[in-house]
Structure 1
Amino acid sequence: MPTKFGEISYSVKKENGKYLFNISGNVEIPSKGIWIKNFNDSQTPKKVLINGNLQSNFTSDKILVNTVPALIEIFY
């Protein structure tokens, strides 16, 4: 998908009780990062991992991503 920051691709799937959100592409990360809107009825995730690293930059509304490629694991 073309954006003003470059080409970006993503996929989402549910697997083993968690969501896997994969982001890839040739994209310059915006200064405020990439925000993923929470799509699980605004329920706050219990845990979020990005590329295997535990994250704290998320709310019931959105998850902050500062790197691409990124494999985001979202646990509810």
Structure 2
Amino acid sequence: MSIPDNDRIADPLDRAAAETESMITAALSFRKPTGPLPIGECHNCGAPLVDGLRWCNKACCDDWEKEERKLAAAERE
């Protein structure tokens, strides 16, 4: 999102909010994903996925993370 022209912004708080949103968007574009890389299928259930996705829905993501925590805990024992 680009910062709108000053005449279109009502007050300094609106300008600050627009600038903050712009900075957050820029920072998120450089963030590296954590966890497994996309492989074309859901890491939990194996359902086929479009490029860039790792799980088919939030429930599968949650289940996968729960299993990973169990495996990590078992390795520490």
TM-score bin, normalised by smaller chain:
under 0.3
Return the TM-score normalized by structure 1. 0.17
Task: Point out which structure has higher relative CO (alpha carbons under 8 A, 6+ apart).
Answer: 1
Structure with the bigger percentage of helix: 2
Return the TM-score normalized by structure 2. 0.17
